[in-house]
Amino acid sequence: MAPEEDAGTELLLQSFERRFLAARALRSFPWQSLEAKLRDSSDSELLRDILQKPSGGSVTLSESTAIISHGTTGLVTWDAALYLAEWAIENPAAFTDRTVLELGSGAGLTGLAICKMCRPRAYIFSDCHSRVLEQLRGNVLLNGLSLEADITANLDSPRVTVAQLDWNVTTVRQLSAFQPDVVIAADVLYCPEAIVSLVGVLQRLAACREHQRAPEVYVAFTIRNPETCQLFTTELGRAGIRWEAEPRHDQKLFPYEEHLEMAILNLTL
């Protein structure tokens, strides 16, 4: 095989690895037969290694093939969502038997992983774009979870809600209806306007639990521009919201782009 063909094959298999680990294998697909055939092939080391990796719980995801589609970037999965999902799987106690509100859920991978692996009591996916909300509902059902209004819901699964939530107009009263114990967000620090809106909704979330402890907040983001990160921490300081960085975790279920740095901030409202 020519060097350029070999490099192309490896890139293809790495792409398959990412999707295989992030998606559920079809029950009807003959994985055992395929693995047996791969063992007899001398040039299938990488793919055989992929198939032998423990996959644990599985997530099926429908998403766009375009970075921007229908006027939004929320129809695809971004690296910080993978990073936060991985952190959640490593720290399930942060979510077990608790009500979780996700801000800007996008395609829903992080929330679906938490619902399947961390056993929350209830999970609220939220976004403001109608097409994203439509896709979220489809992905929830695709993973065997029931939306809250479904009377046939599995009692062993978390209560799942998909809510339309515009950070600029939502009120303390509306947020109080969710009563979250934990709030999460991934890859939502993409422009100054979004940062200001996010900090504003976090302030309202702190106010919506007047007689109870404020929710724990975890925000994961990719450090593409240090100035954006600095603006976020500056706005948090102005709002009186304290934060600390979660230790970077080493285990990688997903192959992130090597040049990207990611972080999770633990906020105290």
End-to-end CA distance of the chain: 57
**pTM, entire model:** 0.73
Dump pLDDT digits (tens) for 91-131.
999 999 999 999 999 888 899 999 999 999 999 999 988 88
Cα dist. 199→129, 165, 225 in Å?
A: 19, 14, 18
Dump pLDDT digits (tens) for 207-237.
886 667 889 999 998 887 889 889 999 999 9
Instruction: Compute the 3-state secondary structure of the chain and give helix, strand, coil in percent, each to the nearest 5.
Output: 40, 15, 45
Task: Name the H helices within 91-240.
Answer: 109-117, 130-142, 172-176, 192-207, 226-238
CA distance 196 to 16: 37
Count CB-CB contacts under 10 A for residue 6: 11
DSSP 47: H
Is residue 147 scored above 90 in pLDDT? no
Domains, the chain, ranges and CATH? 4-55 (no CATH), 79-268 (3.40.50.150)
- For residue 122, give every residue at least 6 positions away whose Cβ sits within 8 Å of its Cβ, in sequence order, or none: 99, 100, 158, 159, 160, 161
